[in-house]
């Protein structure tokens, strides 16, 4: 697969990841056990805010691989 094609698919995958991650984060943030605790909210928002990077790293690495000659 050419690098341009990988970048196109990778961009689409990253957009889908960010949308799904944010919707799941909003859903979990509204749960009563989390909404009632300030400390749990702080921990959750730090983990949810930085957590999407871990699944995105393999996608970015795949996108930036050089073409085979």
| Torsions phi, psi for 8 (to 5 deg) | -65, -50
What pLDDT, on a 0 to 100 scale, did the predictor assign at position 67? Answer: 82
What pLDDT, on a 0 to 100 scale, did the predictor assign at position 35? Answer: 78
Measured in whole angstroms, the distance separating CA 14 from the mean position of its chain's CA atoms is 7
User: How many distinct structural domains can be found in the chain?
Assistant: 1
Instruction: Name every residue whose Cβ is closer than 8 Å to that of residue 15 and which is 6 or more positions away in sequence.
Output: none
| Torsions phi, psi for 2 (to 5 deg) | -75, 155
Give me the domain span that covers residue 37: 3-63
- Does some domain include residue 69? no
- Does some domain include residue 34? yes
What pLDDT, on a 0 to 100 scale, did the predictor assign at position 20? Answer: 95
- Does some domain include residue 8? yes
pTM score: 0.80
- What are the 10-residue block averages of pLDDT along the chain, 69 residues in total? 91 95 91 85 92 93 86
């Amino acid at each position: 697969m050419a690098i341009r094609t990988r970048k196109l698919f990778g961009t689409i995958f990253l957009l889908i990841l960010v949308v799904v991650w944010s919707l799941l984060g909003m859903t979990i943030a509204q749960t009563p056990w989390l909404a009632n605790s300030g400390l749990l909210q702080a921990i959750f928002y730090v983990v949810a805010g930085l957590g999407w990077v871990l699944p995105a790293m393999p996608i970015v690495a795949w996108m930036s691989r050089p073409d085979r000659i």
